[in-house]
Amino acid sequence: MSELTTVARPYAKAAFDFAVEHNTIAQWQDMLAFASQVAANDDMHQLLTGAVAADTLAEIFVNVCGEQLDLHGQNLIKVLAENERLVALPKISEMFDMFKAEYDKEIEVELTSASILSAQQQAQISATLEERLARKVKLNCNVDPALVAGFVVKAGDTVIDGSVKTKLARLADTLQA
């Protein structure tokens, strides 16, 4: 999987830089999302991993995508086909989305709480996280009664664990030591 990330990163970065330069980020995001869905299709995936000439493969792929790709998107598909990288399209789309979130100063946050949070509580937590992370926060809320009370926040590599379950586990470790 990390090899696919290494392969996809330069293509995603080039596409993103081009989209920023031409003020077409949303359009590129849509094109890449559609193309990644086409590439992920089982029949298309077999074709992509088979022994088909790059020109033919690019032509088939562009025809399948139809009007969903503009001229620049078609050129990307041709370059990916020439370099045998069309299978990386889903990862390219995912990384493009990450570059966009970074560009927009947004972050997706997983918030797991012991009970359902009210809209006011979610807004308060979101505002606090936006201040702490210096980014616009998009909360994805989950409920896990095993936490007993409190919540766990996962934002990228940052984890904030304020659950009673974790505090009790730490206390038990301390008492046993």
List domains and CATH numbers for the chain: 2-102 (1.10.520.20), 106-176 (3.40.30)
Q: What percent of the chain has pLDDT over 90?
A: 20
DSSP 47-100: HHTSS--HHHHHHHHHHHHGGGS-HHHHHHHHHHHHTT-GGGHHHHHHHHHHHH
Q: How far is CA 42 from the centre of its chain?
A: 21
pLDDT of residue 2: 65
38, 64 contact by CB (below 8 A): yes
Could you read off the pLDDT of 58-81 as tens digits, one per residue?
A: 888 888 888 888 889 888 888 888
pLDDT of residue 151: 86
Q: What is the pTM of this model?
A: 0.66
Q: Quick one: tokens of 107? A: 């972050």
